[in-house]
Amino acid sequence: MKKLVLSFLTLGACFIAPITYSGQALAADDAVKSAGKSTVKVPAMRNRVYTQLARAQKVADDGDRAGGLAILDEVKERIDSMNSYEQAMLWNFYGFMYYADENISQAIASFENVVAQEAIPESLRLSTLYSLAQLSMQQGNFQQTIAYLDKWQNANTKPLTGNQLMFLANVHYQAKDYKASLISVNKAIALVEAKGEQPKENWLILQRANYYELKQPEKVTQVLEQLVRLYSKPEYWVQLAGMYGEIGQEDKQLAIMESAWQAGYITSAQQLVSLAQLYRYHGVPYKAANLLEKAIDQGEVVANERHLEMIAMAYMAAKDDKKAIPALQQASKIAENGKFDAQLAQSYLNLEQWQDAIDAAEKAIERGGVKRIGDMHLVQGMSHFHLKQFAEALDAFSAAQSFQESAKTADQWFKYVKREQGQYERLAMLN
């Protein structure tokens, strides 16, 4: 809002200030000169008109905008006696004051009256058209904004500046014309880069947004690389990692995420969990487990079932069942079924903690929610066997035989234990 006001006030000074130097009406030829390359014969502004406009401006500048508007209304009563330049400046002042009152609709109507005049300086026409585009943009009328900008571009003979190109780009983006928006953004960026300057951050953000809407992920990635290099904000590092994953460059994805974490940019729970998942995906489960454990200890990640299971699975993938046990025990306490008890049973079996394996498997069976109950009977059977509890082992394997997923293995173990039991009993009789 304030930027637009400044541009209006500058515009007003451009056409009013020269009068104050002479105290006389601005000559038509001088008006043409101040307007630039206009070929239109611009009439002079008479001193009596200027005096009233200047008085209205002073009253408004002193805080009485209603009084300033009242003076303009008095001037407007004699509008039929005013030439085109005087009328244009009258409407110009109306536009300033309505804008200052945040009456955008009336400001637009006033500035439209400015450009409706034939014999006015071309620079006034150009500035007013540009201001009309800005006001229409503020109102969200993007098609009208584009219409004003088209008129402005058709009348403009100077090369567009980077800011003007970006204004065009923003308008087209809001109007969902992403191709047109991208053309203007790319021109603006090329313009500043040709001068050895770096593009503004918001320019790159808009460029990235256009590439995203146009479904060009490789280009989105390139822009994010530039944002990381030039502005290095945490969100750009995380977004770049995500884009590397999207375009199939997983090695770069992990490298960027790990660098961001080391720099202290990875702070949210979701980001930490994502990094842990990347570690697992890239075959470094120990790092995944350590990262999550540390995050839970520091209160950055909640110790829920999912995260505890991720820790346990990572340790088991790293062949370290012993370190998986605490996470599984904690998960078992908050779980509503025997899922984690089943995993505990398997870990205890791997660690040759036979009685613990038996107890965990029994608990898993009792609590339910276990996909392969037959496997729990197998764990019990193997553990009982290693404790030389042959009868209990045979009972467990017999139970496992009734489940399709474990029947074949259970049958093999049953026969094996039966033979071992007989041999054990024979040796016992000899002793």
Q: Three-class SS string for the chain?
A: CHHHHHHHHHHHHHHHHHHHHHCCCECHHHHHHHCCCCCCCCCCECHHHHHHHHHHHHHHHCCCHHHHHHHHHHHHCCHHHCCHHHHHHHHHHHHHHHHHCCCHHHHHHHHHHHHCCCCCCHHHHHHHHHHHHHHHHHCCCHHHHHHHHHHHHHHCCCCCCHHHHHHHHHHHHHCCCHHHHHHHHHHHHHHHHHCCCCCCHHHHHHHHHHHHHCCCHHHHHHHHHHHHHHCCCHHHHHHHHHHHHHCCCHHHHHHHHHHHHHCCCCCCHHHHHHHHHHHHHCCCHHHHHHHHHHHHHCCCCCCCHHHHHHHHHHHHHCCCHHHHHHHHHHHHHHCCCCHHHHHHHHHHHHCCCHHHHHHHHHHHHHHCCCCCHHHHHHHHHHHHHHCCCHHHHHHHHHHHCCCCCCHHHHHHHHHHHHHHHHHHHHHHHHC
Top-confidence residue, 62 or 236:
236
111 within domain boundaries: yes
Rounded Cα gap, residues 119 and 40, in angstroms: 6
CATH number, domain of 116, equals 1.25.40.10
Q: What confidence score (pLDDT) does residue 141 get?
A: 86
Which of 86-90, 286-290, 349-353 shows the lowest mean pLDDT across its residues? 86-90
383 within domain boundaries: no
Q: What confidence score (pLDDT) does residue 255 get?
A: 95
371 within domain boundaries: no
Rounded Cα gap, residues 1 and 61, in angstroms: 17
**Is pLDDT of 29 > 50?**
no
How does pLDDT run across 110-166, given as a tens digit for each residue? 898 888 888 888 888 888 998 998 998 888 888 888 888 888 888 888 888 899 899
Q: What confidence score (pLDDT) does residue 418 get?
A: 87
pLDDT band at 12 (very low <50, low <70, confident <90, very high): very low
Q: What confidence score (pLDDT) does residue 361 get?
A: 95
304 within domain boundaries: no
Determine the structural domain holding residue 98 and report its residue range. 1-155
Q: What confidence score (pLDDT) does residue 424 get?
A: 77
Q: What confidence score (pLDDT) does residue 39 get?
A: 58
264 within domain boundaries: no
Q: What confidence score (pLDDT) does residue 293 get?
A: 93
Q: What confidence score (pLDDT) does residue 153 get?
A: 85
Q: Mean of the pLDDT values across residues 77-84?
A: 88
Top-confidence residue, 148 or 38:
148
**Is pLDDT of 392 > 80?**
yes
49 within domain boundaries: yes
pLDDT band at 13 (very low <50, low <70, confident <90, very high): very low
Q: Mean of the pLDDT values across residues 300-312?
A: 93
Mean pLDDT of the chain: 86
How does pLDDT run across 171-226, given as a tens digit for each residue? 999 999 999 999 999 999 999 999 999 999 999 999 999 999 999 999 999 999 99
Q: How many domains does the chain have?
A: 1
Residue carrying structure tokens 């001037």: 75
138 within domain boundaries: yes
**Is pLDDT of 304 > 90?**
yes
How does pLDDT run across 317-328, given as a tens digit for each residue? 999 999 999 999
C-alpha distances (whole Å) from 354 to each of 279, 318, 357, 409 are 32, 22, 5, 19
197 within domain boundaries: no
Rounded Cα gap, residues 358 and 356, in angstroms: 5
How does pLDDT run across 144-156, given as a tens digit for each residue? 888 888 888 888 8
Q: What confidence score (pLDDT) does residue 37 get?
A: 45
C-alpha 45: how far from its chain's center? 53
**Is pLDDT of 65 > 70?**
yes
**Is pLDDT of 40 > 80?**
no
pLDDT band at 251 (very low <50, low <70, confident <90, very high): very high
**Is pLDDT of 4 > 50?**
no
Other Cβ atoms less than 10 A from the Cβ of 287: the count is 18
Q: Are 343 and 361 in contact (CB under 8 A)?
A: no
pLDDT band at 290 (very low <50, low <70, confident <90, very high): very high
Which of 29-43, 138-152, 329-343 shows the lowest mean pLDDT across its residues? 29-43
